[in-house]
Structure formats: structure tokens, C-alpha cells
Structure 1
Amino acid sequence: MAASLRAFLRPAAAAACPSRRALLPPPRPLPGARACSAGSPFQYLVVRKTGARQSVGLVQLNRPQALNALCEGLMEELRRALEALENDSQVGAIVITGSQKAFAAGADIKEMQSKTFQECYSSSFLAGWDKVSTVRKPIIAAVNGFALGGGCELAMMCDIIYAGEKAQFGQPEILLGTIPGAGGTQRLTRAVGKSLAMEMVLTGDRISAAEAKEAGLVSKVFPVETLVDAAIACAEKIASNSKLVAAMAKESVNAAFETTLAEGTRTEKRLFYATFATGDRKEGMTAFVEKRKANFTDS
């Protein structure tokens, strides 16, 4: 890792990385996820289902000695975990988190250091990271500590970002003589506007959780100790709705983020009409008229 980035992260590296002590209780294995990993536990993740109805998939990045740096092995495991959760009919929403020290301090620099242009171009390096943004179920990033470089990009691939009050966000790639490569210049600009995005990308400076909320990068800020519980509570609320319609709603909001107003409104109307082909739309409106709680069946 370059000296400038070591200096950038020194406050984090100087403190001992917390162990898996604390953030989560001992994990209960997620059968689907283990099946996807050829029967062996994940090396870089802790994955389980949680919530009163086990309707939330909880994924914890688990490379504490590297501040959850996003190596290729971790990102491959994350892809498999998300596929398993996507295919689990019990799960209605997903939470991705790290440790109290770091959500993810960036991509693994040592792993990238010797790569050439030819290797990056021919292998479409980092292309697999897009899996996070293509999952149809809503994903909440619960960010404590550092979300820098690839870690910030990973958080921005999620649908909602909740931050602990000590969280810090940044795109310090320029300190390494490169630029963001997993959507950092694109998603950050759309989230916080051109001026702040330019400042963060061109200087490598970090912003606090409070600044990130003010800029629109995160939706809510919580005490460090309650962040994950708050994210799970939000995910449970999402999961209590129709999973089918939630996927449509997510697609429609993403259209607003990624397309023109005209195209976005066309997408919204198309999806709105599509809900009238679902049993859940009929049940939701009937329950409203009958003044009772809807019983969605995801159909």
C-alpha cells in the first residue's frame, strides 16, 4: 500500500481491529449460502438470516486485520451470498455491514499493485462488483467506521445507506495515482452533486457521517452501537411488504437515478400497470378498504 494511503488510514491502523466479538451474535448458518460455496463456510463473510420472521439476510464483511479490504475472494463470496439470499423466498431484504472500525477501507491494494492495463482490460477487472447493484431485493448498507474507495463504492451500490455517527466516507484513489473504478465518480456525483464529488475525488478528503447525511449520501445516522439493529428493523419493515412489488418499486426508483425524466416516468407507469396483474395488489387494496392488515403472498 502506498505511503500516502497508509497515512490516510493511520488513525484506523493504529488501533487494534475489533474481533468478531461484538457486532453480531454467533451466526446461524444460512443453508442456501453454504450450498453456493460448495459446502464450506465463507472465509471472508459471516452470513445469516435474522429478524422476527427470519426475513432479513445479514451479511457481515469479515477481514478484520485488513479493515475489510475488498479482495477478489471477498467479492466472489459476496456475489455467492447475495445469489443465495436472492433465491431464498423467506428473505425480503438484505443488510450488508462490516465492523465498528471499518465497513470496508477500500479495495485490496496489494492485490492490485502488480496488475497491468492488459490484465485489467482483458479480464474486465472489477466487473463482478456490479452484482451488488443488480440484486432485485432491497439492500441496506449499515456503515460504521471507514467506507473508503471501494468500500464507499460498495455502500453506494446498495439501495439505502445507514451510517454510524463515526462513519467516514471517501474516494482516496487519487492518492494512489489512480481514479475510482467501481462507479465512484458516477454514483457519488449523482448522490451528492458535482462540486462535492469533485472535491472528494480530486483531493481524497473524507466526509463525516453528518456531512454525508447533509449531502444526501446517507439517509439516517445512528449511534455506533445501534446502527445494525436500526438497519435490520428497516429491512424487516421492507420485507413485510410484497417482495414482488418491492422489486418493482426498486426498479422504478433506480430508473429515476439512472435515466431521463421521460424514460423514468414511462418505466414507473409500466410497472404501476404491472402491479394490477398481481394478487398482492388486489390483496393490498382490499385490505385497505376492509381496514385490516394485508396478507401478501408475493404473487
Structure 2
Amino acid sequence: MTTAALPRSIAAYWVHLADAAAHVDRVLAALPLPTRRTAQQRAEAAAAHDAARRLRARFLDAYADQVYDEITGGRTRYLRLDELAEAAANAFPGLVPTAAHLAVERSRAQADKEGYEIDQGIFLRAILRSAPSGRHLMTAMLRPTDRALRLLPEFRRTGLLVTEAVRLERRDGVARLTLCRQDCLNAEDEQQVDDMETAVDLALLDPAVRIGLVRGGEMSHPRYQGRRVFSAGINLKSISAGRISLTGFLLRRELGYLHKLARGLADDELDRWLPPVQKPWVAAVDTFAIGGGCQLLMVFDHVLAAADAYLSLPAAQEGIVPGAANLRLARIGGARLARQVILGGRRIEATEPAAGLLVDEVVPSGEMDAAVEAALARLAGDAVVANRRMINVAEESVDDLRAYLAEFALEQALRIHAPDVLAKTGRFAERPA
């Protein structure tokens, strides 16, 4: 099939796309796993994928809003990323991978995946590029998760949530969120993203919470045993094992709990004339904030760092895009610093002047506990929430973030399946713990 002359009607156009997707399935079914293919077989698979993806992108350029309206009931249903992609697969066969495609992908290591998430990236880029559809999707992602709503009554009663990756404790009006992946230095995977979003939702939903604190717990990792660590960034072993997905981690993280930290919760059941539910957040960085840990700091209202801590964004060296850090660090620190840190891998020590662009206080490591409590007390004023909301409105518009994440959706999907990333994460996975 060629893309030279495409029909104008959405129905006929969709038939062409469905045919191309079916052709991809037939081609791939006749081939061995990606790591066992010859150069000719890899070229054959790539040609089939490319033809379908060109059609898919052109279809969505023309009909993204119609597709979104169809699967959300004219924007009356709020579907999260994974729900939206699944609904699109059911309503428009061939537009995005089916649940069956994704189930097979999840069973494989990253190097043996077919890259169906690239097709999801094409779809989600088109939706986010559209102002009406993209804004609606972003609102859907700002709603409390079903898991948080189920856990809310118990959390309000006990003030405690303990999950695999985080511990959330309400004490004296403070939601104290501790990252507790002790063995992997709080390196993020899909479980941690899910647990973090749940915890952030609970802190925002609980009226007894007035402010949130995020800090790394003490580690059992041999190299840092007994020390607090903020975060080692994305879990590269999870990437290699094929357990980092676009809708469950890479894009969910940005549109989910990071966006909620910045903008709070949106819910159609709340009074529409009121601003979203927001609260101030403090971060305390011990030892290091690498990659995703450093990205987190850019959405907090106050950041403390121990004097012996450092910050870095090594995503370019890893071969991926560091979330929304390209947008935010360029705004916060300027284009030159953003290029040095993101492109060149510059590491920023907490005590050097450049750290002042990302950190509010640098504290001797033995004085962190007292400094954290003092910072929490300073953000207890009645007008803090209103003013932090207005700062966030002035600093980063929803449409700026939407436009950035539209391109990120596809760019990151392409990078996570790129040969250099597969080679790098594969080597990392072979290292001993």
C-alpha cells in the first residue's frame, strides 16, 4: 500500500489505515523476534511499520478531534492515558495497538519488542497537539485515581499509607511522603509512579493536610546503607526488562503526579468555579537527585539540599528525554545551563552557585531535619496556596506544557526503542547489584 492518494472521508481513510495495520501484523508474524532478525528482515519490518505510521500520522492530523470526541462521548468521559489508548484501539481498529499487541509486548524484554508504543506516541501526540482535546485529556489526568479514592477513607482515619515504594504519614497537618525503595536508591519504575500518584492524591484530597513533604528514606543498598537518598532517577534495569511503558510511566508520570504537584487536582464533581485543589510542597534532597529526582525539584515550592548532595540529568547520556526538564530547566536556569546539564551531562553540586537555581536552601547534612521543619512552618500561611497557584500560572501555562508533552509523547516513544538505548540499558542490566 502507498500513501500517495488518500481518500477524504474519515471512514474510507480509516479502511486504508486498518489495511496497513493488518499488513504489519502479517509481516511481523512471519518473522523471528527482533533480536534474531537478519538485516533484510529488520528492513522488511521497518518498511511495514513506516508505511502504517505515515498513514496513522496523516489520519490523526486530519481527524484527531473527531476521534477523541467519538471515544470520550463528546468529551463527557474523562479517560486516562491507558484507558484512552485502549478505547481508541476498540473504536478505530488499526489506529493504535490492541490490548493483545500490548500483552505480548509486556511479556518481552525491551530489545525484543516491536515498538507498538511508537504508534501510541503518534496517537497521543495528535491528541495533545489539539487545544480542545489535549486540555480535556490533561484535565482527565488531574483527576484523583480510582486507587486513591478507594484508599481515602482509611487514610483520613489513620493518617498512614504504606505501599511497596512509598510511605505517606500525616502528622501535624503535614503529609510526609517518604520514597522507600531501599534496594535500588529510589530508582523509579511503574510501581513507584503508581504509588507516588496515589500518595499525592491522598495528600491533596485529605482536608487535614495543609502541606506536603517529599524526602528519600534510608537505604539498604550496600553502597549507601543507612543513608537517606532522594532518587537515582529512572530504573534502567526496568527499561531493559521491558517494564517501562509510555502510558504507565513515561507520559503518565508527567501528566499524573508531577502535574498534580504543580497544579493540584481537577474533578468535575467539585465546584467548577473554584480553583483546583492545591497545596504547597517541600522537597528535601539527601545524597543526590539524579534524573527523574532532579526533574521533580522543578515543580516544588521549596527545595532543601544537604551540603554534600548533588543534582544531575543524565538522560541524554542514557539516550532518553528527561521528561519535562527540557522545558522547565531552560526556563528556570536559561538555555546555556539547560544545554550543559541535559546535553553535556554537567553535574551540579549543592554548594555551587548554579544550584541556587534549583535549590532554595543548602544545609549541613546533620541539620537537615531541623531545616525541613522550619521550611514547613514558613509555608503555613493562609495565602500561600493562592499565591503559589498564581506563580505557577505565570510560570508555565497549561498550553505550554501541553504543546511540549505532545512532542515528548512521540520523541520518548522513539527513544525508548532506539538501538543505542537498548544497548546501554542492556549493559546496565548485566551489572551486579
Q: 2:269 aligned with 1:148, yes or no?
A: no
Contact 1:92 1:238 in 2 (8 A): no
Q: Which amino acid aligns with 2:392?
A: N
1:158 alignment counterpart: 300
Q: 2:319 aligned with 1:177, yes or no?
A: yes
Contact 2:161 2:168 in 1 (8 A): no
| d(CA) in 1 for partners of 2:330, 2:261 | 19
Which whole-Å deviations, capped at 9, do the CAs of 1:25-74 have from their partners, x for residues lacking one? xxxxxx958549xx973121122123xxx021111100121011112111
Alpha-carbon spacing, 1:88–1:116, altered in 2? closer, same or farther (3 Å): closer
* Residue 110 of structure 1: how far off its partner (Å): 2.1
Contact 1:101 1:144 in 2 (8 A): yes
1:15 alignment counterpart: none
| d(CA) in 2 for partners of 1:33, 1:58 | 18
Contact 2:166 2:195 in 1 (8 A): yes
| d(CA) in 2 for partners of 1:219, 1:196 | 17
1:253 alignment counterpart: 391
2:240 alignment counterpart: 113
Q: How high is the TM-score relative to the length of structure 2?
A: 0.46
- Structure 2 counterparts to residues 264-275 of structure 1, below 5 A: none
Q: How high is the TM-score relative to the length of structure 1?
A: 0.66
| d(CA) in 1 for partners of 2:174, 2:240 | 37
2:262 alignment counterpart: 133
Unmatched tracts of structure 1, length 5 or more: 1-30, 260-299
| d(CA) in 2 for partners of 1:150, 1:95 | 17
Which whole-Å deviations, capped at 9, do the CAs of 1:217-267 have from their partners, x for residues lacking one? 11110011222331222212322x22xx322111111123225xxxxxxxx
| d(CA) in 1 for partners of 2:183, 2:248 | 31
Higher helix share: 2
| d(CA) in 1 for partners of 2:257, 2:342 | 20
Q: 2:377 aligned with 1:236, yes or no?
A: yes
1:98 alignment counterpart: 216
Q: Identity of paired residues, percent?
A: 27
Contact 2:162 2:168 in 1 (8 A): no
Q: Secondary structure at the match of 1:57?
A: strand
Contact 1:55 1:92 in 2 (8 A): yes
* Residue 95 of structure 1: how far off its partner (Å): 0.9
Higher strand share: 1
* Number of residue pairs the alignment of both structures matches: 220
Bigger CA radius of gyration? 2
Alpha-carbon spacing, 1:35–1:204, altered in 2? closer, same or farther (3 Å): same
* Residue 187 of structure 1: how far off its partner (Å): 1.5
Contact 2:179 2:215 in 1 (8 A): yes
Which whole-Å deviations, capped at 9, do the CAs of 1:88-126 have from their partners, x for residues lacking one? 222211110114442001012222235599x62798453
From 199, 206, 226, the counterpart of 1:88: 206
1:290 alignment counterpart: none
Q: Secondary structure at the match of 2:308?
A: coil
